[in-house]
Amino acid sequence: MDNQIETALCCSDSISQTSVTISDFSDEILLNILRFIPSHDLMLNVSQVCRKLRTLCLDKSLRAHVHLHKEYTANDNAVKQLLKNLSGDVQTLNLSGCYWLAGSMVDQVTRCKALVSLDLSGCRLTSVRLSHLLTSLRSLRSLALDVGPGFDLHQLSAEGKSALARLQELKQTLLTPSYGVVPCCSALCCLHLYLEASEGWREAGGCAQLMVGQSSVPHYQNLRWFSARLAPGEVNRTLLSLYLAVFSMRVPEGLTGLVLSVPGPAPPRPVAMTALMESMASTVGNTVSALQLPRTWLDGAILGRVLAHGCPSYLNVSRCSSPGFNPLHVLLSAGRDLTPLRSLNLRGCGRGPLAENCGKGEEEMDAESVKALTECCPHLIHLNLSATHYHHALPAGQDGHLCDTLGHLAALCSLALPVCALAQSPPAPVNIQDPHTDLFSRSLLLGLKKSSRIGVPTYRPTTEVTVGQGEERQDRGLCIQPLLQGCPHLVELELIGAGFSSAMPRNEPAIRKDPAACPWSYNVGDGLIELVQGCKDLRSLSLANLGSLKTMNYTQALLEALSYCTQLMDIRLEQPYFNANAAFFEALSQCHQLRRLCLVSRHGTFQPAAVASFMQSCADVIMCHMFMGGTLVACKTLQKTLLDSFSISRPALSVVIYPLLHEDLAHVIRGMPLCHLDEITLFKSRVAEEPMKQ
């Protein structure tokens, strides 16, 4: 009945039983609750519960902004009905990553005449369909889309091109060498490029056509923000050079954000780069808000010139250190107020090569400079210190551990550290047994010989430390505690081996040999069970190369840990010789909220029946990516079985099962949805990798 809602009973030991209905909550409270419900579920289901909820669901604050990103249950019919119901009120529509929706669904967006912002990244979009869409959306000011093979700008109507000329923000993912719609966007203030063209276009001369004719020259005169993130490959580097060539003709006067992320070798530094940086730094009334340049483009002079006019809120100098240039030293010696800095990426930036034999060319963290940084930048929210080594040695009169220093950053939300930063003491000499090892490891194989593990310290309450064992033993397991206690807002903590390289490739063959781990990491136990027990709301878990790489020696700890991960939605596990057997999938089935699974294991094995049973019991799993051992026939057979069994009930289902060391793996990867590939399948550090959303 319309006015009746099931009563909730609130009970306690000290008060009598009281009946409470939804009518007792104010509209304001209910609206705040309803904002957490997915748009399609809200409008199609919640609004049908009762008259009160139906009325609240008509509130414009719930109807103006529709976000369907990661709403994997939203099928074609649901989205069609949703857009039909909300067409007159929607101002922001986010369909990014909705790769499973039919291309014809985009036509339904034409109903939403009041749209100001539209994100179609990952959706199927042709030139003709885009033209029809733009003709209907006269208020559109922000657009995100993919540009794939066959895109033809000349197929856009005059009305469509006029709509593009009114855009102020554009995000383009280029799957083919192209300027996309940029030549028509004369009023752009923000341009975000994601260059994802495959190397096949280089062989076909895909970039050559862009050099012909001035009609393809992009418009940059009003730009205040320019960012480009590249997938590996020469074709993407060439494409970036073509986009940047326009800066040599005219330097935008109001540019305040320049973010260029280029993996591997960078293209030659443009001649106009010096003039561009000078313009960014010296324009009256402008302060550079974000800066990232390829490692060979940035030097002390350029960074110093930018800092001389103010400190940006986002600075990414990942792996930019070189002989004679230490980005952190330049930052600290600039003599400027550094309090505006909110996000800093110092990945791979140390004070020089490590003296110890931990890996060729690996950097040692400059701990004293990091301490100075925490004093100068007390409002840091994101900090990346990975890909360096920190080996704690405490000379007389020196302050304590790195975690003590970082614990002063009270606003910190995300942090990336090398695993060895959590080691409290040097590695034990070879063939000398550590008497405390058994007390600080957790395994069902106690008493058996086992290899050293790499991970995070096993937690032990103070009461469990036996009298006489010394303060060193207690601190050894608790060195991370000052960090966790001093940073109450920390929600993302990455611990990555300083020399770790994932076996999962992008455009190259899989890595067949793992680099040696830092010996200091051997003093750090896996601590997996304690971690998940302390993180009750853990949503994402990524484990890579813990402990011995010759055998999987933390299986029992992993199985027990999964039983505590009741809120887990994403899991990625990369470990050589991993056995994805029935016991593993039975434990994983306890994670009832799980959505995405990725397994990467050189010489790993799997049991097809166990995988199928797991997918049957966990009905919300929409991504199963497994790159292990086994024959190509076995992998393809299991993949087909899962797709045939669950595709109808799970429209967003993405199943890719393929031998990790197969020569065609790179080609298979290019066919996967980019949202999954970037967010979970490919391993990378994500802390301070992207500018903060304004």
User: CA torsion angle for 94, 98, 103, 108 (degrees, to 10)?
Assistant: -40
Distance of CA 172 to the CA centre of its chain: 18
In whole angstroms, give the CA distance from residue 453 to residue 437.
Answer: 11
In whole angstroms, give the CA distance from residue 186 to residue 165.
Answer: 5
Per the DSSP assignment, residues forming a β-bridge with 314 are 290, 343
In whole angstroms, give the CA distance from residue 92 to residue 114.
Answer: 9
User: CA torsion angle for 364, 368, 369, 375 (degrees, to 10)?
Assistant: 140
Q: Quickly count: other Cβ atoms within 10 Å of residue 30's Cβ.
A: 16
Amino acid at 162: S
- Quick one: 457 exposed, middle or buried, by C-beta within 10 A (0-12, 13-18, 19+)? buried
Best CA proximity match to 415, nearest among 386, 379, 377, 378: 386
Sheet of 540-544: strands edge to edge?
540-544, 570-574, 596-600, 623-628, 654-659
Q: Which two tokens stand for residue 207?
A: 């970039």
Tell me, what's the pLDDT at 622? Answer: 97
173 in Cβ contact with 147 (< 8 Å): yes
191 in Cβ contact with 226 (< 8 Å): yes
Distance of CA 513 to the CA centre of its chain: 26
pTM of the model: 0.86
- Domain ranges in the chain are 421-681
DSSP state of 677: I
In whole angstroms, give the CA distance from residue 449 to residue 336.
Answer: 55
Best CA proximity match to 66, nearest among 97, 106, 37, 33: 37
Tell me, what's the pLDDT at 366? Answer: 86
Residues 6 or more apart whose Cβ sits within 8 Å of residue 314: 257, 259, 289, 290, 291, 292, 342, 343, 688, 691, 692
Best CA proximity match to 658, nearest among 678, 683, 681, 634: 634
Q: Which two tokens stand for residue 562?
A: 């999964």
Best CA proximity match to 555, nearest among 588, 514, 602: 588
365 in Cβ contact with 388 (< 8 Å): yes
Instruction: Please list the rounded mean pLDDT of every run of 10 residues in the chain (694 residues).
Output: 41 52 82 86 85 86 90 91 89 96 92 96 94 95 95 93 96 93 94 90 58 59 93 90 83 89 86 78 76 92 88 94 90 93 94 62 84 95 93 61 92 90 71 42 38 48 41 51 86 83 75 73 68 78 78 85 91 92 96 96 95 96 96 97 96 96 90 93 91 80
569 in Cβ contact with 599 (< 8 Å): no
393 in Cβ contact with 425 (< 8 Å): no
Per the DSSP assignment, residues forming a β-bridge with 600 are 574, 627
In whole angstroms, give the CA distance from residue 8 to residue 550.
Answer: 54
Beta-strand relationship, 8-10 and 18-20: antiparallel
In whole angstroms, give the CA distance from residue 34 to residue 39.
Answer: 9
Amino acid at 443: S
Q: Which two tokens stand for residue 627?
A: 């790159």
Cα four-point dihedral sign 417, 422, 425, 427: negative
Q: Which two tokens stand for residue 586?
A: 């039975």
Amino acid at 576: P
In our burial notation (b when 16+ CB lie closer than 10 A, e otherwise), range 325-345 reads: bbbbbbbbebebebeebbbbb
In whole angstroms, give the CA distance from residue 572 to residue 510.
Answer: 17
Range list of H helices, 577-631: 582-588, 608-617
Q: Which two tokens stand for residue 577?
A: 């010789």
Tell me, what's the pLDDT at 411? Answer: 95
Amino acid at 570: D
Residues 6 or more apart whose Cβ sits within 8 Å of residue 502: 511, 544, 574, 600, 682, 683, 684
In this structure, whether the domain defined by 421-681 belongs to CATH 2.60.40 is answered with no
